Chains A and B, each alone.
Chain A
Amino acid sequence: MICPRCDSDAAELLVKAPVENAWEVYLCDACNFTWRSTESEEITDPARYDRRFKIDPLSIPDLPVIPPIPKLVK
């Protein structure tokens, strides 16, 4: 399944609604985006997801690291 935010083909079903079979939640393995099937198309449709918030999967390793990982101390 295509992730609406990063367009990777890495999204899978995470969970179904605990009751009423009301919705499903999907999780993108590439960018950790989660969304619910009942959200608006501006969230669920890769073509309509706001470009300002799109993520390029190739840029993820270069994001700032918070907090920094310290050196190992014996």
Chain B
Amino acid sequence: MFSLETIAEKIAANIAYSLHMDEDKKAVMAYGIFCFSQILASILLVILFSLLFHVLGQALVICFTIAILRKYSGGAHAATPGKCLVIGTVISVVPAIVITHIPVNVIWVIILGIAAFAWAFYEVLTKAPVDSIKKPITNARKRKRLRNGSLVILGIYLLVIVVLLSLHSFAGDNGHLIRYAACILFGTVWQTLTLTHSGGRLFAMMDLHN
């Protein structure tokens, strides 16, 4: 069966054989090649499906909001790369379609934003970084650096939302800026959910049903 992980391992094995490298170097190369191809596939799928529904900008904002915070905070994982691609695409494109088509109200974005960011800061402070068996984070300094990084990213998201809502109020656009703020808000809420036990259970359920 087609698997990015297998292809990455084969490429790394060929290079390691040709350059007379040891097993450690081969494993590091396979990891690098797989990570790069998985990221590329995730972004390409989001671009493809969001173009079909005319929500490219919104879907990419959700996708990168989740991914950037996830880099520091960690979170629940899918069991296989394929399920990860499906979950990542659905979670970026479906909310983008909904946010684009429902009426959004600046007051509601502010109310939900305050609640969401209070929750996100609490979860990040108490849980981040959430590691996995395949990538345990045991070093205390690294954990502290990643937690602080998560808090900085959350602060930046909050600032961007405030700027977008202020611009909307002063410049009076036709709702695009509120929708982008709502996309950042959704991405933050989803990524925060993956830090919790409920998020872990949700991923486990999706793994079973995919």
Do A and B associate with each other? no
Binding site for A on B (CB under 8 A): none
* Residues of chain A whose beta carbon lies under 8 Å from any beta carbon of chain B: none
